[in-house]
Amino acid sequence: MSHPLLAEQFISRRDRAAWHDRSLWFVREKRDRQANDVPEWEELRKFASDIKQHTMSRLPNYLEEFERNAKALGVHVHWAVDGDEHNGIVHSILERHGVKRLVKSKSMLTEECHLNPFLEDRGITVIDTDLGERIVQLRNEPPSHIVLPAIHIRKEEVGACFHEHLGTEQGASDPKYLTEAARHHLREQFLAADAGITGVNFAIAETGGFVVCTNEGNADLGVSLPKLHIACMGIEKLVPRSKDLGVFLRLLARSATGQPITTYTSHFHGPRDGCELHVVLVDNGRSQLLQSPEFRRSLNCIRCGACMNTCPVFRRTGGHSYESTVPGPIGSILAPFRDPDQHTSLPFACSLCGSCTDVCPVKIDLHHQLFAMRSRLDHQQKLGGTKKLTMQLASSVLRHTWFYRLAGRVARYSLRWLPRFLIYNPLNGWGRQRELPSAPEQSFRRMYEDRQRKERP
């Protein structure tokens, strides 16, 4: 289904859509307070952008350097061209260790590769351990936001879900009570797990290690008890030096949730004694993205979610309307780049207001890319007839002075004299939820000409 159709379903529940909007704006405001607390914020963004740009220009070298250093620390390094190969590699490691129960902290990459269903089909129980991800997993739905997976769910619904699956009291909806129940449930899972999987926030070429950030401590619990730790990462997660983390860690949590830093920022360099540590490096379309001068900067993304929290379309239509692992502005570039047929509508779920570009901590020119993606889809012949026709019509109106003037005159006349049922007809999508403005007496051009005439002596 396209974004407009799913969005229509979402906004049909008006109270809920308004609540969703407010929740995300609250996070955006927390982000502003934290960003304003750092006087050198704009310089940090520039440093982050420059470091990423440099890294991308030498990515193959840095990947080799990372691999060399990781191996020296006793880490097993694997390479996967696509999601299927990634899933196969993870499964073969788990099989070799006889793993039946697996705990996994948040990893958008494993969502992108659909790892959970792949492993479950092969008899492995996968428990997502981030609270938000556990909630959506129990409800059998995907996360609706990359940082706040359950942002679309009301506490009463969490209560009902936990009552069914964790045996909490019926009707209970106090977040404190529900979180405590999840704590007991998940600590049992950590203690019973045979292996832990984590994502990777940053990998460091010069050391061969990587960093995982959480607030709950779920990644650390998941990999500090069992003897096997598998970390799955997209190849764009590299930074050259550990000191580069000084820049990115100052930006990440402030941009994501408005915290000065995540509670746990863990650096992993090699396995624990007597244990195994594996890193799977995944391409899955990233090298294609790097080839595109127009869109390669979207590889700089550090998955903070700030563009989603600020986006007026995302806030009002919800993450599920995007039907993409990464939704929102950045997802509306990544998804149609990879699969233009399935995600054609996403770059149009945008008013080009540019707020995403303003908050992006690594200075991705998001709204320019969203605009460019629309032309790309047009050139690829992916746009439907209606969209193409309206664009062509708008284009000829704007290109011809006489046509523009005529259109203005017709619009002013119609708005003034036509009966409501003709103006608010089924073709007028804009008027479905809004009143059109009242027509001015005369056009701007006419007003300007009159004034010029009067002022001239």
Of residues 70-99, those binding other proteins (CB under 8 A):
73, 78-81, 85, 89
Report if residue 59 touches other proteins, rule: CB under 8 A.
yes
Please identify, using beta-carbon distances, which residue of 222 and 408 lies nearer to other proteins. 222
Residue range at the interface with other proteins (CB under 8 A); choices 23-31, 116-124, 363-371, 373-381:
23-31
Q: Does residue 290 touch other proteins according to CB under 8 A?
A: yes
Min. distance of Cβ 28 from other proteins in angstroms?
A: 12
Q: Tokens 């011809």 correspond to what residue?
A: 400
* Inter-CA distances, 347 with 2, 256, 359, Å: 11, 22, 18
Nearer CB in complex with other proteins: 34/345: 34
Q: At what angle do helices 41-57 and 59-72 cross, to 10 degrees?
A: 90
Ranges assigned E (strand) in 118-245: 125-128, 195-198, 202-204, 209-214, 228-234, 238-239
Cβ 2 to other proteins, closest distance in Å? 29
DSSP summary character for residue 149: T
Q: Per-residue x/- mask for other proteins, residues 253 to 282, rule CB under 8 A?
A: ----x-xxxxxxxxxxxxxx--------x-
Determine the straight-line distance between the first and last CA of the chain, rounded to whole angstroms: 63
226 by Cβ neighbours in 10 Å (0-12 / 13-18 / 19+) ranks as buried
d(CA 285, CA 81): 8
Minimum CB distance to other proteins smaller for 190 or for 348: 190
Q: Considering only residues 28 through 47, tell me which ones interact with other proteins, judged by CB under 8 A.
A: 38-40, 43, 47
Helix (H, G, I), strand (E, B) or coil at 139: coil
Q: Given the complex with other proteins, which of 194 and 374 has the nearer CB atom?
A: 194
For residue 46, the minimal CB distance to other proteins (Å) is: 8
Residue whose CB is less far from other proteins, 193 or 346: 193
Among residues 111, 112, 128, 216, which is the contact residue for other proteins, using CB under 8 A? 216
Please choose, out of 288-296, 366-374, 379-387, 449-457, the segment that lies near other proteins by the rule CB under 8 A: 288-296
Q: Which residues in 334-363 contact other proteins (CB under 8 A)?
A: none
Task: Tell me, rounded to whole angstroms, the distance of Cα 362 from its chain centroid.
Answer: 14
Q: Which structure tokens are listed for 137?
A: 């997993």
Q: Site for other proteins (CB under 8 A): which residue of 124, 151, 228, 256?
A: 151
Residue found by looking up tokens 């890319």 in the block: 369
CA distances from 293 to 137, 196, 296, 298, 328 (A): 37, 37, 6, 10, 22
Nearer to other proteins, 26 or 403 (CB): 26
Provide, rounded to whole angstroms, the least separation between the CB of residue 427 and other proteins.
40
How far apart are CB 260 and other proteins at their closest, in Å?
Answer: 4
Provide, rounded to whole angstroms, the least separation between the CB of residue 69 and other proteins: 8
Window 361 to 390, contacts with other proteins (CB under 8 A): none
Binder to other proteins among 4, 117, 167, 246 (CB under 8 A)? 246
Buried b / exposed e along 399-435 (16+ C-beta atoms within 10 A): eeeeeeeebbeeeeeeeeeeeeeeebeeeeeeeeeee
Maximum separation of any 2 CA atoms in the chain, in Å = 95
User: Distance between CA atoms of 29 and 6, rounded to whole angstroms?
Assistant: 27
Compute the least distance from the CB of residue 81 to other proteins, in Å.
5
3-state class of 413 per DSSP?
helix
Q: Report the residue number, 117 or 246, with the smaller CB distance to other proteins.
A: 246
155 or 387: whose CB is closer to other proteins? 155
Contact 272, 196 (CB under 8 A): no
From 9-17, 206-214, 404-412, 442-450, give the range in contact with other proteins by CB under 8 A: 206-214
Query: Which residues in 402-431 contact other proteins (CB under 8 A)?
Result: none
Identify which range of 94-102, 243-251, 382-390, 425-433 contacts other proteins by CB under 8 A.
243-251
Which of residues 89 and 383 has its CB atom nearest to other proteins in the complex?
89
In single-letter form, the type of residue at position 297 comes to: R
Transcribe 155-181 into DSSP letters: HHHHHHHHHHHH-PPTT---HHHHHHH
Near other proteins in 160-199, by CB under 8 A? 175-176, 178-180, 182-183, 186-187, 190-191
